[in-house]
Structure 1
Amino acid sequence: MNITLTFRLGRNTLPTETEQLHDLWRVARLLQPLGFPISRWYPPADTPEHSLLNPAFDDNGPAPAAVAILKAEMQALQTPWRRDTAVWNGTEGPGGVVCVNALSVDPYLPNCTLRLNAKRVDALQDTRNVVTVVQGLLQIWQARTLEVAPIRYQTRMKVFPDRPGAGWMLYVPTVLTVQQVPEAATLLPVMGQPRKQAGTLIISVADAPFSADNPDHVRIANRIEVRLVDQDLLPRYADQ
């Protein structure tokens, strides 16, 4: 299952490496109640074995070694307008989770992303758990869109390749009503500041995990996408 969140920094310079890793630490804290200890996240390295030598976080935030690794990578790349960083939970295959945060202050490519890829994680097959994680992510970043779907749905099965897909869940920064999206199983308001609704989380299937192998699930998600486009409520990636 993939969660993909898009946002913009709203500033002309990248945050520090410590600040970027701190946001990923906040993501790790969201996953901690689901069985992912905060001390078992690791920065990338040339081999999995080398990665496991350096925990990315401790209880208070990013570990100094992880910050140093990210700084060294950025000095080698010399790309002051863009920085990608990632952490993983040290598990390859089923049960593995990778979080990738890509930041940009390039005026021609201003979109930033947070991607969370989970491979057969039982806790993330529960609608309530996924909603809790999504709501937490929307408190970290002011999202332009957020998608929750299997990667096969995102890459091959959504209706509009140039727009976000409904998949299992889709956040749009628009207040929606049931009349506007009758195909959705649930619409959840997402609150911003100060106590004002910032957008809506559309849940296509509420009583089971979304499956790209289930024609009914795919049909519902596709209908939601068409419904939103007909009302000019589903932006193109290029327009975000």
Structure 2
Amino acid sequence: MDISIKIDIELNDQLSLKMLMSIFSEMIAFTDLITNSKELVWYFCGESLEEALNKPAFENNYPTLFFKEKQDIDIIEGIWSGDSKALVIKGNSVNLKYNLDFDLREIQSIAIDKIKDILYSYLNKFDIFCIRVDINDYEYKSRNVFPDRLPVGWMLYLNKKITQQQVPMAAQLIHIDNDKNHGTLIISTDHVFDGENKEDIKKANEIEIQLAGLGLLPLIREIYS
């Protein structure tokens, strides 16, 4: 199966090299845990495979000398390992909002509780305005109801209080209330969601329609403006 996780954070300062290393390191640890596999080397992207293989970013979860001597930080920074794992940090030239993008392909199994636990740790560490967890290209293949609004997919975190009475069809709502965030993680199914399964798609669609009807499903441009 393929899994996409997008975590949108807001920092207090411009992204530094040290912070870039730290965030990528945490993303790698997250990936190792939820996929139950560990990659020895992660590489920066390049114009060709040969160029990329000469730009190692992490070895055994530690930043390489190449990374430590990196001079500039681009708006989009990405690292990859093998044919199935890519991690991207996308910045914004206008504000201090960043998107942490996990693109994990051909994953044999997913540890549900580990995903929830790690998302909870992110919600305690960063100022987060949105989290999306998508399986098997639910959003990419436009299976969501509203193309201009956030998709629910398997999991959606919003910085607003949402109750079970408002979305009774959701499998679980996890309320977040800490120094960093005050909101709700909506989980559409209590099993691993499948963006190709008609029943799972129907469930996510029902939640999207319900949230939109209550004025609780934001427009994408509202989130990223």
TM above 0.5, yes or no, is yes
Opposite residue 83 of structure 1, the aligned amino acid is I
Q: Deviation of residue 35 (structure 1)?
A: 3.6
Which aligned pairs between 1:44-193 and structure 2 lie closer than 5 A? 44-57=45-58, 61-69=62-70, 71=71, 74=73, 83-89=75-81, 91-92=82-83, 96-106=84-94, 111-124=97-110, 126-150=111-135, 152-155=137-140, 156-193=142-179
User: CA 1:84–1:68 in 2, change beyond 3 Å: closer, same or farther?
Assistant: farther
2:197 to 209, 214, 229: 214
Q: Paired residues, what number?
A: 219
Opposite residue 203 of structure 2, the aligned amino acid is I
Report percent identity of matched pairs: 23
Compute the TM-score of the two structures, normalised by the length of structure 1. Answer: 0.79
Q: After the TM superposition, which of the residue ranges 180-189 and 151-160 deviates more from structure 2?
A: 151-160
Opposite residue 6 of structure 2, the aligned amino acid is T
Opposite residue 198 of structure 1, the aligned amino acid is H
Aligned equivalents of 1:117, 1:32: Cα separation in 2: 13
User: CA 1:123–1:134 in 2, change beyond 3 Å: closer, same or farther?
Assistant: farther
The alignment partner of 2:69 has SS state of helix
The alignment partner of 2:106 has SS state of coil
Opposite residue 3 of structure 1, the aligned amino acid is I
Q: Deviation of residue 67 (structure 1)?
A: 4.0
* Unaligned stretches of 5+ residues in structure 2: none
Aligned equivalents of 1:84, 1:151: Cα separation in 2: 24
Aligned equivalents of 1:183, 1:175: Cα separation in 2: 16
CA root-mean-square deviation = 2.5
Aligned to 1:4: 6
Aligned to 2:20: 20
Question: Could you list the runs of 4 or more consecutive aligned residues of structure 1 that deviate by over 4 angstroms after TM superposition?
Answer: 58-61
Q: Conserved in 2, the CA contact under 8 Å of 1:178 and 1:187? A: yes
The alignment partner of 1:157 has SS state of coil
The alignment partner of 1:122 has SS state of coil
Q: After the TM superposition, which of the residue ranges 134-143 and 228-237 deviates more from structure 2?
A: 134-143
Q: Conserved in 1, the CA contact under 8 Å of 2:170 and 2:207? A: yes
Compute the TM-score of the two structures, normalised by the length of structure 2. Answer: 0.84
Q: Deviation of residue 6 (structure 1)?
A: 2.3
Opposite residue 84 of structure 1, the aligned amino acid is I
More helix by share: 1
Q: Conserved in 2, the CA contact under 8 Å of 1:171 and 1:200? A: yes
Q: Conserved in 2, the CA contact under 8 Å of 1:158 and 1:165? A: yes
The alignment partner of 1:42 has SS state of strand
Aligned equivalents of 1:36, 1:56: Cα separation in 2: 18
More strand by share: 2
Q: Deviation of residue 204 (structure 1)?
A: 0.6
